[in-house]
Amino acid sequence: MTEETLKNITLPKHIGIIMDGNGRWAKSRGLERTEGHKAGANTFRTICDYAADLGIEYITFYAFSTENWKRPHKEVSTIMKIFRDYLDEANEREAENEKRGLRFHLTGEKKGLPADIVSKLTTLEKNSADKDVMTVNLAINYGGRDEILHSVKDIAQKVKSGELNPDKITEDDIEKGLFTAGQPDPDMIIRPSGEYRLSNFMIWQAAYSEFIFMDIMWPDFTPDDLDKAIIEFNKRNRRFGGV
């Protein structure tokens, strides 16, 4: 995006991205699906750095859903290996993260993820906790329904202990129990791959998000496509129920 364009547009504060289409990208090239996931991970690296350079404050990458465990074992284990490699790399490139001011945060269930991945994620979260340029939410083992359930359980505990009166439960109380607690809702959710659905992504937070569906596969997604999505976002008239 040129400096001039950047000056004249409103950047979404929070962008959600459903990184979809890796398998089809690979298939169309006669490659194994797993090759698509490797290519998709490289796109993630590029887009994450580019978003920070643009000045985006929050970005959530949907990388693995609570439903994706039903895929063949080989595919799941390759995806886990990609996470391991990426987390090692992110933990090692601390100076670069520091420079860009990236704060990493897991938005997903730790329970169910391999212990070493949880530990690498925890290290990354801890070491980047004081950065404040862009928050990068990694939605790994994430499901929107699971996230709401998580919050409901927190509330039930508080009601049980007498800390919260059931008649006084507010939307804020539900928000506090989400993995994105304290963050603004996504202004824009991008889904490449030609599918027109959320697939359980941020279903609470997406109440007033602008959806941008794109007909390309995630590994082919470029910074230029992010620019296009942001420009399209600027043409939308957000009313939030008002006039």
| 22 near ligand IPE, rule: CB under 6 A | yes
In the complex with ligand IPE, the residue whose CB is nearer, 1 or 136, is: 136
- The single residue of 20, 146, 185, 225 carrying the catalytic annotation is 20
What is the C-alpha to C-alpha distance for residues 224 and 229, in angstroms, rounded to an integer? 9
| 193 near ligand IPE, rule: CB under 6 A | yes
* DSSP collapsed to 3 states, 99-153: HHCEEEEECCCCCCCCHHHHHHHHHHHHHHCCCCCEEEEEEEEECHHHHHHHHHH
Sketch the per residue contact string, 1 through 40, with Mg ion: x for CB under 5 A, - otherwise: -------------------x--------------------
| 44 near ligand IPE, rule: CB under 6 A | no
- The single residue of 8, 42, 49, 68 carrying the catalytic annotation is 68
Q: Which stretch binds ligand IPE (CB under 6 A): 47-55, 62-70, 96-104, 228-236?
A: 62-70
What is the C-alpha to C-alpha distance for residues 146 and 66, in angstroms, rounded to an integer? 8
According to DSSP, the β-strands at 14-18 and 58-65 are parallel
Sketch the per residue contact string, 122 through 141, with ligand IPE: x for CB under 6 A, - otherwise: --------------------
Q: What angle do CA 141, 105, 127 make, to 5 degrees?
A: 130
Residues 66-85 that bind ligand IPE (CB under 6 A): 68, 79
61 beta partners: 17, 138
Give, rounded to a whole angstrom, the gap between the first and last alpha carbons of the chain: 32
Closest CA to 147 of 12, 43, 16, 22: 16
Among 21, 143, 177, 192, binds ligand IPE (CB under 6 A): 21
> Catalytic: 220?
no
> Catalytic: 85?
no
Among 66, 78, 199, 234, binds ligand IPE (CB under 6 A): 199
Among 12, 20, 44, 190, binds ligand IPE (CB under 6 A): 20
List C-alpha distances in Å: 134 to 63, 104, 192.
Answer: 18, 9, 22
Among 89, 94, 195, 224, binds ligand IPE (CB under 6 A): 195
| 146 near Mg ion, rule: CB under 5 A | no
Residues belonging to the active site = 20, 68
